[in-house]
Chain A
Amino acid sequence: MNSNGAIRIGFYICHCGTNIAGVIDVDAVAAYAASLPGVVLSRDYKYMCSDPGQDLIAQDIREQGLNRIVVASCSPLLHERTFRGAVERGGLNPFLVHMVNIREHGSWVHEDGGLATTKAMDLVRAAVRRVVHHIPLERSRVPVHPDVLVVGGGIAGIHAALTLAAAGKKVTLVEREPSIGGHMAQFDKTFPTLDCAACILTPKMTAVKAHPNITLWTYSEVTAVKGSVGNFTVTVKRKPRYIREDLCVGCLECIDACIYKDGKFADEFNLGLSKRKPIYVPFPQAVPAVPVVDPEHCVHLKTGKCKDLCVQICAERNAFDFDQQPEFIDITVGAVILATGFTTFDAKRIPYYGYGVYPNVYTALEAERLVNASGPTGGEIVLPDGRAPASVAIVHCVGSRDADYNRWCSRVCCMYSLKLAHLIQEHTKAEIYNFYIDMRSAGKSMEEFYNRVSEEGVHLIRGRVADIYPETANGKDGHIGRVIVQAEDTLIGRIRKIPVDMVILSVGLQPQDDAEDVRRMFNISCSAGGFFLERHPKLAPVNTFTDGIYLAGACQGPKDIPDAVAQAGAAAAEALALIDAGFVELEPNTAYVMEEECSGCKSCIPLCPYSAISFAEDVLKATINAVLCKGCGTCVASCPSASIRQHLFEDAQIFSEIEGLLTHA
């Protein structure tokens, strides 16, 4: 404030090129603003957010003794930070500026320039009245805890954890399954280069296990999250595997020793295509290489009566602990990276594809296991009756691009379908028919890969499969008859009915079944299809609307391994930027209790969505933790004695703004 304490408002209106000035008469608005009480200077400028535009404000403050600023331009979401910075550089408290949105709320949504100009004037008048009541505020800083939590140990989570660990940060990696690896661990080869999935993945998995900065908790899940950016308290549930990870050396002799001589229960990792014992590791390269005991089938755990051959063979290490209980551990971290991946579309939902009805109809993930040398058939592509197929149909877009199922393109299926075509042809010499709608091969080396598989003689038929039905009834001898795959070959305009021995359904990618629970727990948003929502689709693709929570991999949307890894790196970098800054600045738009007026009724406490309000037993008053408060205003509106107020939303500010709006020029 200048020496005599008078309010001196500077007003600036932005043309935004023609974005605003093309519709709104900016000269007229500037002239109008100049006539308003308190406004001592009014300017228009082509781009207020540009450096010269900002300098203009800073300079005017210094030279003209301005003590309040109003900028009429775009949404504060985009440039409030910019103009607060400019004001600060001019030597004023940054909270003495107020923005008027005449673009998103004005020129972009109105066609009548005259009316839009009048509306802009109304909004400007309201802002000028409001800004008078602005007072200087201080941002508080909270320190950021340097540790990071990564949820999900697929390729994205693995890469993010390793990157952070390499930067010297302590990382806890929580994975729900007994081993890390995610979907990639199930593949044989990976498109477009056809490198062996295990060969490139397992070194990274072992590196996770070996890294001193990474705490790996598999068979574990996050059950609760408290706090906010810089200081999250996360509760992790560690499910009992009945074998102590610290004692087990991974010799796996216990599995051999188990009283079940052969596998008897559906093997989840092989999607039920093989059987496992009640004690198992999901796959040979599992990390950690510590077996899990399945309490539903283990005779000891079910009946207490077993010869316990497993325990005996482990006598020396003595790693068994059948008394293990679920353990709940709280950890504190400054940032979280969600890398919970995807699940595949349930092919049974499309009845006319016959999945679950005809034994020779497989999903692509099952096919991945079949071609994998460590899979249920040792890498042989065979039908349930043991024969190798002479003809195979690969059906693209199953559950994707479909208004009745998932609307989106799953992005990786075209390429993995070509990969499977190549691999199966290589293994069996079968005739392969890929039925596709559009071949999507965007991305580095993808089109070349498409070209390669085309030249290998795979039949590429452009048409979505409309029906799959048996050619003849299955023989009583267990012989599995062919099925007919029917589709219009749209390029020749004929209906094709191709009998094949085997069908592979290229199921799409969709959000994990519990994505909604995870979303709620971490207080982030989901996009329409249920994938986690990024803060900005182009400019903040790994951030969420909750500070300190980042996204990596297919949990944010379908993507291939290269993109998942790139995104994981970006998420790690964002987390590092946060941690290495050391602190976060909090917006001062928080609520505060007028202690003398609070009656201690406690009605606000349960209303706060962020649990920021507590009750001070000593003075019998409510108190608000400014670090947790997000400024939603719920408590302010609800307090029966009007004893909660909120910075930047003070009664005087809001009422003046409303009066300004309602007072016609």
Chain B
Amino acid sequence: MLATEEAVEQMWGVTLDRLYDSEEGRRILSCIQCGTCAGTCPHGEHMQYPPRRIITMLKAGLIEEVFASDSLVMCVNCYACQSKCPRNIRLTEILLPLVKEQTIVRLPQMPPELQKAVENSYRYGNSQGESARKRALWTKTATVPIRILADDPRPVDALWFVESDLAFHPRGQDVARATARVFDALGADFAILGNEERTAGDCGRLSWEPGLSEALIDYTMSILKKYEFRRIVVSDPHAFDAFKYRYPMFGFDETVESTVSYVHRDLEKIRPRLKKRLEYTVTYHDSCCLGRHNKLFEEPRELLLAIPGIRLVEMVHTRENGLCCGGGGGGMWLDTYYKARGIERLSDRRVREALDTGADVLAIACPYEISRFEDAVKVAGAEGRLRVRDIMELLVESFGDA
């Protein structure tokens, strides 16, 4: 279930003690204790208090015990529980972030990687800890011209929000360059914020202090105000989600699109460029934000199928029932924490499912997944057998002129 606009409004400012003041919050009272949430949660078996038990504990006035356990550190914000809950309880949207916030505050020690990511985001505007001045560096190696608004502030059709993983991570930069080429092929009028961009701060809300994500949202909104554009096109599904659901609570009302749907809409324009046959068997991993939360299931697949030669196969867990890569909700910085507790990385599980399909390419549309899956492919000893490629990279590969 997607949040309606009213729901989004209601969600803002809700705290645990004021939960039942809002209609969306009150819905928790309708829980039938069926356990679907716990049963579907990719980390359910490692949580002392999965969503179902959190609800009973909350009703019984024992929520402090839930905070004291680290159960919700395991939540990767994948929306699986919320999407299957037969009572449409807004678990991932409302309840779990609230509980998680309190849980993290009470941890005797913040997991160091997470701590670092928070600090970096405060200091540099990106979790990687890269210099803010280097954010636009990747454009120097792009093969098409990329307009940076600070240098050329003319109005633009599509303001492309690149986000940190594409800007800084070497594999992310490959995707950024590929995306730029696809935009260019579309004949799109686009520009980026360049060094003015900071992370949109979605995972912040879910795993760190809310103050950080508020500061980041304030900052981004103030920068966006400087420029004229018709839409924001977002590559990172987490940032896309933030713009769609979090930012409106702060008065943001711009048109937001994900890169995937932006390109999909004008697919016919680039279809003639897709000349080179790619004889790959491809399996596509649904990112939780793009898929389960925003229902973009067909568009990415149609982009892949537009490439001549590609054969699409599905993993066992797919679409609505996709399996999270484990990177959401701060999971990106919790791998060590999970490992210390003997929890298998979800990316390892997911890559095994991909390998089971016999595919030679694992297609993705979320920058978290590249690094996570490429590492998992190594762990599985499947290097050379399974390659991880963003949809944009595959499109460019099919242009055949690189």
Contacts and interface: CB of A to CB of B under 8 A. Distances in A.
A402 to B, nearest CB: 4
Contacts of A178: none
Contacts of A545: none
A351 B45 CA distance: 22
A352 B321 contact: yes
B372 interface: no
A494 B41 CA distance: 12
Interface string B308-327: 00000000110111000000
Interface string A472-508: 0100000000000011111001110000000000000
A404 B83 CA distance: 9
Interface stretch (B84-92, B210-218, B335-343, B390-398): B84-92
B110 interface: no
B157 interface: no
B36 interface: yes
Given A473-B356, A490-B52, A437 B38 contact: no
Nearest to A352: B321
A488 B44 contact: yes
Contacts of A493: 53
Given A402-B86, A403-B86, A466-B40, A351 B356 contact: no
Given A463-B39, A473-B356, A352 B45 contact: no
B84 A490 contact: no
A586 B35 CA distance: 56
B389 to A, nearest CB: 24
A486 B50 CA distance: 15
A351 B319 contact: yes
A467 interface: yes
A65 to B, nearest CB: 59
Contacts of B52: 488, 490
Contacts of B86: 397, 401-404, 464
Nearest to B86: A402
B105 interface: no
Given A466-B40, A467-B39, A488-B50, A404 B88 contact: yes
B321 A403 contact: no
B44 A495 contact: yes
B50 A351 contact: no
Contact of B39 (A351, A401, A469, A488): A488
A383 B36 CA distance: 27
B321 A495 contact: no
Interface string B16-34: 0000000000000000111
A403 B88 contact: yes
Contacts of B88: 403-404
Interface residues of B, number: 25
Contacts of A467: 39-40, 317, 321
A486 B356 contact: no
A398 to B, nearest CB: 11
Contacts of B53: 493
Interface residues of A, number: 26
A22 to B, nearest CB: 30
A352 B34 contact: no
Nearest to B49: A493
A437 B40 contact: no
- Counting chain B CB atoms within 10 Å of each CB, the highest count among A462, A463, A466 belongs to A466
Contact of A490 (B34, B45, B320, B321): B34
Nearest to A353: B321
Nearest to B81: A466
B68 interface: no
A465 interface: yes
Contacts of A404: 1, 86, 88
A252 B15 CA distance: 72
B350 to A, nearest CB: 13
Contacts of B316: 469-470
Nearest to A403: B88
Nearest to B320: A351
Contacts of A437: 32-34
A464 B39 contact: yes
A352 B32 contact: no
Contacts of B1: 403-404
A610 to B, nearest CB: 40
Contact of B38 (A403, A469, A473, A488): A488
Interface string B56-99: 00000000000000000000000000001011100000000000
A351 B88 CA distance: 17
Contacts of A464: 34-36, 39, 86
A438 interface: yes
A440 to B, nearest CB: 12
A490 B32 CA distance: 11
Given A351-B320, A469-B317, A487 B87 contact: no
A115 B321 CA distance: 56
- Counting chain A CB atoms within 10 Å of each CB, the highest count among B1, B53, B86 belongs to B86
B320 A466 contact: no
B293 to A, nearest CB: 15
Interface string B247-282: 000000000000000000000000000000000000
A401 B87 CA distance: 8
A404 B110 CA distance: 38
A437 B85 CA distance: 13
A466 B36 contact: yes
Interface in B1-22: 1
B324 to A, nearest CB: 13
Contacts of A473: 356
- Counting chain A CB atoms within 10 Å of each CB, the highest count among B33, B36, B317 belongs to B36
A284 B29 CA distance: 51
Interface string A398-439: 000111100000000000000000000000000000000110
A433 to B, nearest CB: 14
Contacts of A463: 34-36, 39
Nearest to B56: A490
B39 A494 contact: no
Contacts of B356: 473
B90 to A, nearest CB: 12
A490 B317 contact: no
Interface string A295-310: 0000000000000000
B87 A486 contact: no
A600 to B, nearest CB: 53
B35 A488 contact: yes
A664 B317 CA distance: 71
A465 B39 contact: yes
Interface in B282-317: 316-317
- Counting chain A CB atoms within 10 Å of each CB, the highest count among B35, B52, B87 belongs to B35
Contacts of A487: 35-36, 39
A493 B35 CA distance: 9
A543 to B, nearest CB: 32
A403 B27 CA distance: 12
25 contacts: A351-B321, A352-B40, A352-B320, A401-B32, A402-B86, A404-B86, A404-B88, A437-B34, A462-B35, A463-B35, A464-B35, A464-B39, A464-B86, A466-B36, A466-B38, A466-B39, A488-B37, A488-B39, A489-B35, A490-B33, A490-B34, A490-B38, A490-B52, A494-B45, A495-B39
Interface of B: 1, 32-40, 44-45, 50, 52-53, 84, 86-88, 316-317, 319-321, 356
Given A464-B34, A487-B36, 5 more contacts: A351-B320, A463-B34, A466-B37, A488-B36, A493-B53
